[in-house]
Amino acid sequence: MGRYFRLELDDYSTPSFVSAGKYYFGTLEDIDGLFQAIRNDENKAEHKQYILSVYDQFLAGEKKINHTVAFNEVPFLVPAKILGEDRSVLTDLSWEHMNTWDCPYVMKCDKAESTHLWISCQGQYFRCIQTKFANLQFDSFDKTFMKFTGHAWGYPHQIEYDEPYTRSRLWVMEKMFKNKAQALNDRINFMHAPDPIFNFVLEDVFGDG
């Protein structure tokens, strides 16, 4: 297993009048994939020149870099320790997603394949998720289902679409724990009864809408 890092970026799911950050986790390879995808997207690259310039500084050898997220200066990459890993596969799945405004979306998919990491970072403990959905759909206002076809409102290129799959690129938080013992106990429980939580993944599908 490669070395993992925490990357804090702007949270696109907060209301437009609020600024906040969101934790993402991944290996250097995962993080490079995100920034290269943004750089290669002419519609996103100009808007994200600041964070791309920070990443270029990192690639040039400046390892202790801060950057600005929601008007706060935060470390660019923070080492994270993996306490455990597991996977879940659910088929013919439906569930309710509550958006930022507590409005429900009924979601469904043919399959959800997820990788889960239990992570320790700077005294905080998380269960994190990375997911690939097959034929992800959501209900529209007239109660018919619409297929997600790739137009996401969250952080650019965190969600990628390749028919029929929708996948999250980096890991995002599912749960947060008070201590290591709680995190390890959750891992044991998950091994016996997987309970993936897709809310923070879907934030990067719907943004603040």
Which residues lie across from 80 on neighbouring strands? 4
Quickly state the pLDDT bin for 48 (edges 50, 70, 90): very high
Q: What is the C-alpha separation between 13 and 9, in angstroms, rounded?
A: 12
**Tens-digit pLDDT profile for residues 113-159:** 999 999 999 999 999 999 999 999 999 777 789 999 999 999 999 99
**Tens-digit pLDDT profile for residues 58-107:** 999 998 999 999 999 999 999 999 999 999 999 999 999 998 888 889 99
Global pTM reads: 0.95
Q: How many H helices and E strands in the chain? A: 5, 12
Structure tokens that stand for 35 in this block: 């920034």
Phi, psi (deg, nearest 5) at residue 58: -60, -45
Residue finishing a domain among 57, 79, 101: 79
Please tell me whether residues 53 and 148 are part of one structural domain: no
Residue range of the domain that includes 57: 4-79
**E strand intervals along the chain:** 4-10, 21-27, 66-69, 72-75, 77-98, 104-121, 124-134, 137-139, 145-147, 159-162, 165-168, 171-177
Q: What is the C-alpha separation between 20 and 22, in angstroms, rounded?
A: 7
Residue finishing a domain among 79, 114, 141: 79
Please tell me whether residues 89 and 20 are part of one structural domain: no
Number of domains in the chain: 2
Sign of CA dihedral 207, 24, 11, 33: negative
Taking CA 102 as the corner, what is the angle to CA 193 and CA 106, rounded to the nearest 5 degrees?
Answer: 55
Please tell me whether residues 28 and 111 are part of one structural domain: no
Average confidence (pLDDT) over 172-195: 98
Amino acid residing at 36:
Q
Collapsing DSSP states into helix, strand and coil, what is residue 12?
coil
